[in-house]
Chain A
Amino acid sequence: MLLPMEPVLKTKTETLDIEGMTCASCAAFVEKSLSRTPGVQRALVNYATEKATIDYLPTEATPAALRQAVVSAGYSVVERAPDTSAAERSAELDRQKALAYQQLKRRFWVATGLAIVIMPLSMLMLWPALMARVNMPVLNYALLLLTLPVLAYSGREFYVSAWNGFKHRAANMDTLIAVGTGAAFLYSLAATVVPDFFTSRGLIPEVYYDTTATIIALILLGKVLELRAKTQTSAAMRSLMGLQAKTARVVRPDGQEVDVPIEQVQLGNIVLVRPGEKVATDGIITDGQSSLDEAMLTGESLPVTKKTGDPVFGATLNKTGSFRFEVTKVGADTMLSQIVKLVEDAQGSRAPIQRLADKVSAIFVPTVVVIAILTFVLWFDLAPAETRLPLALVNFVAVLIIACPCALGLATPTAIMVSTGKGAEHGVLIRNAEALEKAYQVNTVLLDKTGTITRGEPAVTDFVAPGQDGAQLLQVVAAVERQSEHPLAEAVVRHADDQGGDKLTATDFRAVEGKGAAATVDGQAVLIGNRRLLSDEGITLSPELKVLAEQLLSQAKTVLYVAVAGQAVGLLGVADTVRDTSAAAIKKLQALGIEVVMMTGDNPQTAAQVAGQVGIIRYFAEVLPADKAGKVKELQGEGRIVAMVGDGINDAPALAQADIGLAVGSGTDVAMEAAGITLMRSDLNGVVTAIELSRQTIRTIKQNLFFAFIYNTLGIPVAAGLLYPFFGILLSPMLAAAAMALSSVSVLANSLRLRSFDNH
């Protein structure tokens, strides 16, 4: 017998990172302080790992009290959260990013405000009359004072980051800015503090405070714009993650309905969903029916009707009816989480097209620094003695500032980010950047007929009952078939239900193995099945029915024969039907210049008929499952880049063999594993979307890379003064800064154009 148990006092465990312990006795001290805290049952402090593990009663102690105990012992607790879930991490990151954006904006405005003052002051020399009245050293000191905050506050991050990078033998964009502005500033500082050093050597002690301040302001402007655009690249992902329901209405075994936070929902729970509510997690309907909007997961805009036994997915929207479902998946296993993970992984992948850019990025910054040093040396050696130092300096700074590794680094990933997110919005899941690039090159699409062009399930296409009340007979047949479990019977019932009419009941149901079924409806014996069933019962077909049957058979349809009271009275033609969207989608693919080829296990007649129906010219018939991959190879042998579209397990080898495999989402996990792209929606329009999206993405990436390479290969020599000997053109470092700020923003803006992608 079970007795009501005393509620067990549950302890919680907390791990704290402790800072400041210098010896083992410190650890003992912290341990003592923690143990004395009320509610703590056990405290262990490890000096080596600097961690404290505390078991405590959550009813008596709180994590804050534990921290307080450590602090009162004279040590501090480091907030170093262990690994967190993706959602928490992204929330934390969003918070940090929002904060960083605010700070960045403030730094930008400070720099801009001061630069606006510094610029005109520096230009006083343009008015000699004015200059005569101004004390030069005083003006320089004033400019120095105004520039200092720009460096120390607005530009601080550049110097810190450059120094941190330098310690790691790494150089980044900040290195270039730090060295460039640092050089200009230090030169100006020297000219301000020890002008005599310059004048004694016949040089004018010029200052470049305006250059320093303006460069920092402009680069910060670029960063502000960049950050703003960057948050938009992952907008689709964020909205996907935001779809997750927060609570679920769980029905307890006693019938009580309780709203429960989504984290507490467990497998096997029964969840109630009312009209207009979000489905909390994945499961199977146990009771009720409704139509659901699954557009957020599949891209399918029409609501889907679901009834008992059908699967439902978290984050989809219930439209009309109420239903209950049994939870089959929670947390990371749900369809939504899988999609998010797939998209996240895809965003982390590298496109082969990027390889060159990656190689260049890796050596970019140090190379630019070397070019800048050589520029300085050449100008110093070749320019007239009186101007050589300022010219060398200005060009040195310009080279450093104009070089933009960011444009190279952003070119591909931003486009991939936007397009994988966009794909998910349309129910097209792209496994990685390579898949996207392959889809771009595709010139032949091989479709597996069953389940892609066709629905992959039988449907009644013809019903003939010469000289009978057709509607009445259909209901009689349906009454028998409703009790059968044969897939063909299901098709008949579905057809009858679609036609409407009063439902009848059948008695004495009997399934005849391999032939059909028999039952009594309205007191009459009804037979439905293949021809053997009728001939075994000694029933013959009328000549008219015989002709009709031949016709249906010649169209590669399965024929069901119906006999009532010992008389053959009607025929049903059953076939796998072509999806409504197939013909239009195939036409669109052909319009994209892609040859569409079909393969099927059916006989050549059926194959020809389906191919003709959807406008396919080339097809392979009677392909055994094991030969599917071979057919892909055959097409590849013709020099084609082949995309294979399939859904079944036996498609997996063909999907893997193809240059790019597209798995139709209604298919199996195995097929999705082998596929580069998964279509959540079971229609061929997804193939069109995938290919159009890949084409636009790769085009965008190519434009970005072209721009980034051209910008840097033209910009750096011009900044170095290559045009000076011929045209007398020198690039001011301030213009260089403006160009640099705009270049990375341009690349981002170009990638963001993909957000307007729409295949309709």
Chain B
Amino acid sequence: MDTSQIIVTIVGLGLSAFVIWYFFFSARQTASAVSSSSGVQQVDITVKGGYSPDIIEVEKGKPVQLSFYRDEENSCSEELLLPDFSIRRDLPAFKTTLVELLPETAGTFPFTCGMGMLRGSLVVK
């Protein structure tokens, strides 16, 4: 093994470790819902190559209103799925789409794009 091979090997393995850590284990952006005067828990989510915030905490038993603002034209994010609540919405680009639901059981419920590449979760407490 010559020097460049050693360098390539070390860099490659390091890069692999970084990819695994970055996509699977690094800390994510979490947001808690803000309750409005009417008792509706509101969260604004921006959709651009992902969901920010992508972990949303809400309380059980209170209605939730999620406002998804899709800040891109990329077709990946044009569909929003919340399978546990049987919700599928098309998100027009540069528009806000409201999604309303009532979480009745505690747990973590994923929401994804149409193909399941972009992910976020709704944590009901």
| Contact between A373 and B16, CB atoms less than 8 A apart | yes
Which residues of chain A in 136-178 are interfacial with respect to chain B, using CB atoms and an 8 Å cutoff?
157, 160-174
Q: Which residue of B lies closest to A407 (CB)?
A: B115
| Contact between A83 and B97, CB atoms less than 8 A apart | yes
The answer to whether B52 has its CB under 8 Å from any CB of chain A is yes
Which residues of chain A in 67-81 are interfacial with respect to chain B, using CB atoms and an 8 Å cutoff?
79-81
Point out the residues of chain B lying under 8 angstroms from A345, CB to CB. 86-88
The answer to whether B93 has its CB under 8 Å from any CB of chain A is yes
Complexed CA–CA distance, A374 and B17 (Å): 11
Selecting from A92-100, A105-113, A259-267, the interface stretch reads: A92-100
| Cβ contact of B86, chosen from A83, A89, A172, A348, cutoff 8 A | A348
With A164-B50, A164-B74 known to touch, is A348 a contact of B15 (CB < 8 Å)? no
Point out the residues of chain B lying under 8 angstroms from A162, CB to CB. 49
Interface size for chain B: under 10, 10 to 19, 20 to 34, or 35 or more residues?
A: 35 or more
Q: Which residue of B lies closest to A175 (CB)?
A: B117
| Cβ contact of A96, chosen from B28, B51, B81, B92, cutoff 8 A | B92
The answer to whether A548 has its CB under 8 Å from any CB of chain B is no
| Contact between A366 and B74, CB atoms less than 8 A apart | no
| Contact between B50 and A350, CB atoms less than 8 A apart | no
The answer to whether A358 has its CB under 8 Å from any CB of chain B is yes
The answer to whether B125 has its CB under 8 Å from any CB of chain A is no
| Contact between B97 and A381, CB atoms less than 8 A apart | no
Secondary structure class of chain A's binding surface, majority of residues:
helix
| Contact between B54 and A168, CB atoms less than 8 A apart | yes
| Contact between B114 and A344, CB atoms less than 8 A apart | no
| Contact between B76 and A161, CB atoms less than 8 A apart | yes
| Contact between A369 and B19, CB atoms less than 8 A apart | yes
With A81-B96, A165-B118, A168-B52 known to touch, is A350 a contact of B74 (CB < 8 Å)? no
Complexed CA–CA distance, A227 and B86 (Å): 24
The answer to whether A440 has its CB under 8 Å from any CB of chain B is no
The answer to whether A413 has its CB under 8 Å from any CB of chain B is yes
The answer to whether B95 has its CB under 8 Å from any CB of chain A is yes
Complexed CA–CA distance, A157 and B72 (Å): 10
With A348-B83, A361-B116 known to touch, is A89 a contact of B75 (CB < 8 Å)? no
Interface string of A366-410 (1 = CB under 8 A from B): 100110011011001100010000001000000000000110111
Point out the residues of chain A lying under 8 angstroms from B20, CB to CB. 366, 370
| Contact between B50 and A349, CB atoms less than 8 A apart | no
Point out the residues of chain A lying under 8 angstroms from B57, CB to CB. none
Point out the residues of chain A lying under 8 angstroms from B52, CB to CB. 168
| Cβ contact of B19, chosen from A81, A163, A170, A370, cutoff 8 A | A370
Complexed CA–CA distance, A408 and B117 (Å): 10
With A169-B50, A350-B83 known to touch, is A344 a contact of B88 (CB < 8 Å)? yes
The answer to whether A746 has its CB under 8 Å from any CB of chain B is no
The answer to whether A432 has its CB under 8 Å from any CB of chain B is yes
Point out the residues of chain B lying under 8 angstroms from A164, CB to CB. 48-50, 72, 74
The answer to whether A712 has its CB under 8 Å from any CB of chain B is no
The answer to whether A84 has its CB under 8 Å from any CB of chain B is yes
Shortest Cβ distance from residue B24 to the other chain A in the assembled complex, whole angstroms:
7
Ordered nearest first, which 5 A-B pairs have the shortest CB separation? A348-B88, A164-B49, A168-B50, A409-B115, A350-B83
Which residues of chain A in 83-140 are interfacial with respect to chain B, using CB atoms and an 8 Å cutoff?
83-84, 89-90, 92-93, 96-97, 100
